Amino acid sequence: MTRERGKGREWNTFLNLTKMKYENLLITQENNILIVTLNREKALNALNQKTMGELKHFFEEDAPKRENFKGIVITGAGTKAFAAGADITEFAEMDVAAGSAMAKRGHDIFFSIERFHKPVIAAVNGFALGAGCELAMACHLRIAGEKAKFGQPEVNLGLLPGYGGSQRLIQYIGKGKALEMLLTADMIGADEAHRLGLANHVVPAGEEVAKAKEIIEKIAGKGPLAIQKTIEAVNAYFQYDVDGFAKEVEAFGFTMGSEDAKEGAAAFVERRKAEFKGK
């Protein structure tokens, strides 16, 4: 079991809530922001199936039950990697059925991150390759340290991305550049990732989490229901079976009827800060 020194009480409270002892994730809380650290530094935080299972449990079982937190930051242990890919040692015995099942499970887990109702930000502190890049893209925003590297090198192994990389990379940087990265396996640095739209911000190495927390603090001052419904509406644009415009109409009506909207309008007229309650 991993734990953060000096925060035993907070850590134990979290474990009592989750009923799970994480081995590959380190979960901490700072100013009501949850920090999820991929904690396999010696393996460059590679996403093996155990880590994927812990991410699934956290986003589907643990985090939705927690109250009064502002958002989630995902980062990697150490200074070399956010996550340098999947764990290739697990591939040797896989056949067609096992590979398809692995990809489907990865899709489901990353959808749970992408569709999470509060902001999830990737603090990319080094290599984000293969599954690591796919994890970063499943987050709502990406903060890149100046030494960050992004790439989908699966073709070097005779494979293609299996956790949504062939789809999300196009969404962020367009078909032409996405195909170039996917077919050549070339990596791009933080500045190019920012120029292309893959990274939202580039910061000095070591300041990735701080910037992510700063953005979550800003978002936390807005209407919680509006944030949740905005995430749903934006995601709907990329879902083949959902009419994104219809989703926006539905979400707008929902928020218009909320107490938060009435409070927001009153605060605007009265020239004061709104006190949202998420209702």
Catalytic residues: 134, 154
Contacts 24+ apart (CB under 8 A), 104-109: 105/52, 105/56, 106/52, 106/131, 106/134, 106/162, 106/163, 106/164, 107/163, 107/164, 108/56, 109/52, 109/55, 109/56, 109/59, 109/163
Contact at 8 Å (CB) between 45 and 76?
A: yes
First to last CA, the chain: 38
d(CA 56, CA 172): 24
Give the C-alpha separation, 60 to 37, whole Å. Answer: 17
Q: How far apart are CA 92 and CA 209, in angstroms?
A: 35
Rg (CA), the chain: 19
Hey, which residues does 151 pair with through a beta bridge? 129
Cα–Cα separations (whole angstroms), residue 151 to 137, 196, 265 = 11, 13, 44
Q: What are phi and psi of 86, to 5 degrees?
A: -80, 170
